[in-house]
């Protein structure tokens, strides 16, 4: 049976309280968190305290992290913020001991001149990167993953992942240069790979798991203060992002407001034209009656004057009648444009489907644990293993997806390349921001990751054929 990925383990812990799942997360990432903390505080005991605090925060926030694609990036940023809070609280004592502790830690391991020159700046430089660049660098150099593995984890093509990594390294090198540390890009990557992650003390993973599983209930007053301060810092950082997002949302709402206003004006004109058309029809009937009367008998001067007046009014209204159809056509076009989803609506719908697809994959793995490593053949079989939150949500249903791989993951050597679930129908990505748009479908792979595949045309045959196992290989 395939190994659950980070987000699956996080879901297991969040929804079922699985200490085993959380312990697996700690084991995978304790070295990364400990190393980031140690670079900030230089004292192993303090780094251990920060590591405990970070995993307590992870346990407390597990239920709200389902949107993440790469957990390592979140852990790196949370560790940095927690460490900065620690340094602010301990600055006086740290100023006295920092130099001695750094010298001590440097003597315990081999180091290069390049690493010594930029190590104090590394995490600050990482914080300046956007989240995707930071995730790419952490996976490639901190976790020593291959470019192919980075691409798979981030849902990118291999060449795109390589370009992102190169650009991010250049951003780091430029940051160091502005701080007076000039090192080649190759030296940066070599030093980070060799020295950025150090082994945490052997007992730390166990103690962290105990503290975090209790969500800090048994932590010392010092650690609780550290956690509280870190959470406040994270909340403040998030609020700044929310304010920026609000500004963007207002800018996106402006076209919707203008479009709605224009459509309302057109409807008002259309109503007026309909009234005029009704009047024209009435005048035409009266004109026809008087014309018939004129053909059969002589009219009085007064009747002739009325007939001429009617014909004059009809002639004046004809241009308005002719333009009515044009305005109705414009009104129809505006209503059609208004029906296009905005970028925010499109993003929310996509996130909901990706999240549900991931929940389905988790339920498939839970099913396989009870059925000798075999995946279910239908959604009905998997439903009992689906989380209550996924069952009760109303935005997405399993009817929108279909199973394309059954059997056991052990029967294939490349689970990350084989589609297990796919969306039945592709959907247009057209929005008010990109009216022409394209097409997209969501796919869940055997190893548990989910992607949104975009195509210019509604034809996903080539992509699906490249990621399907043959019937003979699909027991």
> CA angle 156-158-163, nearest 5°?
90
Per-residue tokens: 174: 């430029």
CB 83 within 8 Å of CB 50: yes
339: pLDDT strictly greater than 80: no
Confidence of residue 421 (pLDDT cuts 50, 70, 90): very high
- Identify the weakest region by mean pLDDT among 127-136, 259-268, 282-291: 259-268
| Mean pLDDT for the chain overall | 75
pLDDT on residue 472: 41
- Identify the weakest region by mean pLDDT among 189-203, 295-309, 433-447, 451-465: 295-309
User: Do 310 and 358 belong to one domain?
Assistant: no
pLDDT on residue 232: 72
What are the distances in angstroms from CA 385 to CA 145, 403, 439? 32, 16, 31
Give the integer Cα–Cα distance in Å for 129 and 452. Answer: 24
Domain boundary among 291, 316, 339: 339
User: Do 11 and 135 belong to one domain?
Assistant: yes
24: pLDDT strictly greater than 50: yes
79: pLDDT strictly greater than 90: yes
CB 77 within 8 Å of CB 63: no
Residue 443 located in a structural domain: yes
- Identify the weakest region by mean pLDDT among 91-100, 239-248, 265-274: 239-248
Look at 322 and 448; give whichever has higher pLDDT: 448
45: pLDDT strictly greater than 50: yes
pLDDT on residue 180: 83
Q: What is the mean pLDDT of residues 222-240?
A: 68
Give the integer Cα–Cα distance in Å for 283 and 307. Answer: 10
112: pLDDT strictly greater than 70: no
Residue 250 located in a structural domain: no
pLDDT on residue 204: 75
CB 5 within 8 Å of CB 447: yes
Confidence of residue 87 (pLDDT cuts 50, 70, 90): confident
Q: What is the mean pLDDT of residues 325-344?
A: 54
Give the integer Cα–Cα distance in Å for 200 and 44. Answer: 9
Look at 224 and 461; give whichever has higher pLDDT: 461
pLDDT on residue 262: 45
Residue 81 located in a structural domain: yes
Residue 1 located in a structural domain: no
User: Do 132 and 209 belong to one domain?
Assistant: yes
pLDDT on residue 300: 64
Q: Which domain holds residue 368?
A: 343-473
Q: What is the mean pLDDT of residues 60-80?
A: 88
pLDDT on residue 441: 93
Element (H, E) at 369: helix 343-370
User: Do 54 and 123 belong to one domain?
Assistant: yes
Split into its structural domains, the chain has a count of: 3
135: pLDDT strictly greater than 80: yes
pLDDT on residue 402: 94
Confidence of residue 33 (pLDDT cuts 50, 70, 90): very high
User: Do 24 and 89 belong to one domain?
Assistant: yes
401: pLDDT strictly greater than 90: yes
pTM for this model (two decimals): 0.36
User: Do 269 and 132 belong to one domain?
Assistant: no
Give the integer Cα–Cα distance in Å for 455 and 130. Answer: 26
Kindly report, residue by residue over 247-258, the tens digit of the pLDDT. Answer: 444 444 444 444
User: Do 36 and 148 belong to one domain?
Assistant: yes
User: Do 128 and 42 belong to one domain?
Assistant: yes
Q: Which residues pair with 450 in a beta bridge?
A: 444
Element (H, E) at 473: none
HSE (CB half, 13 Å, CA atoms) of 449? Answer: 21
50: pLDDT strictly greater than 60: yes
CB 401 within 8 Å of CB 443: no
89: pLDDT strictly greater than 60: yes
C-alpha 284 chain-centroid distance = 62
Dihedral, CA of residue 49, residue 50, residue 55 and residue 57, to nearest 10: 120
User: Do 413 and 360 belong to one domain?
Assistant: yes
Ranges 49-63, 184-198, 382-396, most confident? 49-63
Residue 270 located in a structural domain: yes
Q: What letter would DSSP give residue 218?
A: T
User: Do 347 and 333 belong to one domain?
Assistant: no
pLDDT on residue 51: 93
Kindly report, residue by residue over 197-227, the tens digit of the pLDDT. Answer: 777 787 777 777 766 666 555 556 677 777 7
451: pLDDT strictly greater than 70: yes
Confidence of residue 237 (pLDDT cuts 50, 70, 90): low
Buried b (16+ CB within 10 A) or exposed e, 78-113: bbbbbbbbbbeebeeebeeeeeebbeebeeeeeeee
Residue 285 located in a structural domain: yes
Give the integer Cα–Cα distance in Å for 255 and 163. Answer: 35
User: Do 172 and 261 belong to one domain?
Assistant: no
Give, to the nearest 10 degrees, the angle between helix 71-89 and helix 6-16. 70
Give the integer Cα–Cα distance in Å for 260 and 198. Answer: 58
User: Do 206 and 60 belong to one domain?
Assistant: yes
Residue 451 located in a structural domain: yes
Within the chain, how many helices (H) and strands (E) appear? 17, 5
pLDDT on residue 16: 85
Confidence of residue 337 (pLDDT cuts 50, 70, 90): very low
């Amino acid at each position: 049976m395939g190994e659950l990925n980070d987000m699956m383990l996080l879901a297991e812990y969040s929804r079922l309280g699985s200490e085993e799942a959380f312990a697996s997360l700690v084991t995978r990432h304790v070295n990364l968190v400990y190393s980031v903390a140690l670079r900030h505080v230089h004292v192993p005991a303090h780094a251990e305290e920060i590591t405990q605090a970070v995993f307590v925060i992870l346990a407390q926030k597990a239920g709200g992290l389902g949107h993440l694609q790469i957990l390592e990036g979140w852990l790196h940023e949370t560790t940095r913020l927690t460490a900065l809070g620690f340094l602010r609280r301990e600055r006086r004592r740290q100023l006295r001991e920092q130099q001695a502790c750094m010298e001590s830690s440097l003597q315990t391991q081999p180091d290069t001149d390049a690493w010594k020159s930029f190590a104090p700046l590394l995490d600050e430089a990482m914080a300046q990167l956007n989240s995707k660049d930071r995730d790419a660098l952490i996976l490639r150099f901190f976790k020593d993953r291959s470019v192919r593995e980075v691409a798979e984890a981030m849902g990118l093509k291999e060449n795109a992942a390589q370009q992102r990594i190169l650009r991010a390294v250049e951003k780091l090198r430029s940051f160091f240069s502005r701080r007076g540390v000039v090192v080649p890009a190759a030296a940066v990557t070599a030093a980070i790979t060799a020295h950025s992650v150090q082994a945490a003390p052997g007992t730390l993973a166990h103690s962290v798991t105990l503290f975090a599983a209790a969500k800090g209930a048994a932590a010392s007053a010092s650690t609780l203060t550290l956690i509280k301060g870190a959470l406040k810092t994270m909340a403040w950082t998030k609020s700044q992002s929310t304010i920026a997002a609000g500004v963007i949302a207002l800018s996106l709402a402006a076209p919707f407001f203008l479009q709605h206003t224009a459509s309302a004006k057109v409807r008002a004109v259309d109503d007026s034209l309909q009234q005029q058309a009704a009047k024209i029809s009435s005048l035409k009937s009266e004109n026809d009656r008087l014309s018939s009367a004129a053909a059969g008998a002589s009219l009085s001067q007064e009747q002739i004057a009325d007939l001429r007046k009617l014909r004059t009014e009809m002639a004046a209204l004809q241009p308005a009648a002719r333009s009515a159809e044009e305005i109705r056509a414009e009104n129809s076009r505006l209503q059609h444009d208004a029906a296009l989803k905005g970028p925010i609506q499109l993003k929310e719908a996509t996130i909901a489907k990706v999240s549900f697809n991931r929940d389905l994959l988790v339920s498939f793995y839970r099913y396989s644990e009870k059925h000798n490593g075999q995946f279910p053949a239908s959604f009905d079989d998997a439903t009992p293993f689906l989380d209550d939150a996924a069952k009760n949500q109303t935005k997405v249903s399993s009817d929108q997806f279909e199973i394309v791989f059954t059997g056991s993951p052990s029967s294939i050597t490349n689970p990350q390349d084989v589609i297990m679930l796919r969306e039945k129908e592709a959907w247009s990505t057209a929005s008010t921001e990109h009216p022409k748009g394209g097409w997209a479908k969501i796919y869940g792979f055997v190893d548990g990751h989910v992607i949104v595949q975009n195509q210019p045309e509604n034809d996903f045959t080539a992509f699906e054929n490249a990621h399907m196992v043959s019937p003979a290989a699909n027991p």
